[in-house]
Structure 1
Amino acid sequence: MASNVSAAPEGSHVSRKPFATGWTTFAACMMIFGGTMAALEGIGAIVNDDRYVITGNYVYKFDVTGWGWLHLILGIVIIVTGFMLFTGAMWARIVGVVAVGMNMIVNFLWLPYYPFWAIVLIAIDVFIIWALTAGTHRQQAHV
């Protein structure tokens, strides 16, 4: 006798509600966390831009307050997209990959100002992109 994992009669169609599972849920949680950290980093740069010190002679130097606004806006976009990922919407996955990819670039350019924190957020962004692109369905072996 063949085993039916879903407990539905064979030949019937099981409808599934569009809700995030597996790696998408992980990505959504990490996006909410990473977006919150980026937004807090942005608020810190906007409120007290004298706190950040450039750690070396880098080719690129930017205004810290401008970077703060960029981090804040990008962090809010990532947080909202993270919450929308719980619905399982494909557009949220696409926006998530784009927004988190932009966040990786922004954090790379943020390295002279806060190197350790920028590296931590880049690592989180790598995990998020991997989780968003890992796929949504498991393949089951047919025995």
Structure 2
Amino acid sequence: MTFSLKRTTSTDPDFVKLVGYLNAELSKVNGNEDAFYAQFNKIDQINHVVLVCDNNKPIACGAIKQFSSAAMEVKRMFTLPNNRGQGAASILLEELERWAKEMGYEKCVLETSKRQPDALALYSKNGYEVIPNYGQYIGIANSICFEKTI
């Protein structure tokens, strides 16, 4: 499968649309914990977004934002359900890592839910290692944090 990649920002209407689908899915996954997570997933200040397109149709998105002087945090990863299992998420993650490295960052970190086995498998498969929960996720039983040197 051949995908095209587009670097953009959080103002891109295709990104906004995909994030809407992501938020609806996460609301079901997180249930009554959704409001806690939602407060950390605002997209108004994200300047580094990647879209994966199949025949010019956006099918997946992800973003990075500065976490520290050495690390970018991976945010808002999502692939449309009908396009999962085709490698788009790994291609997307690689592009986000490449962009972070181009800007001089050494690592990527991220948080995901223990209730998302596909996400856990994706990050493990792509070389991410579990780290202690950071920041707002310290003490949150459902959260699992990862890090990768890029």
TM-score in same-fold range (> 0.5): no
The structure with more radius of gyration: 1
Q: TM-score, normalised by structure 1?
A: 0.31
Relative to its length, the structure with more strand (as a share) is 2
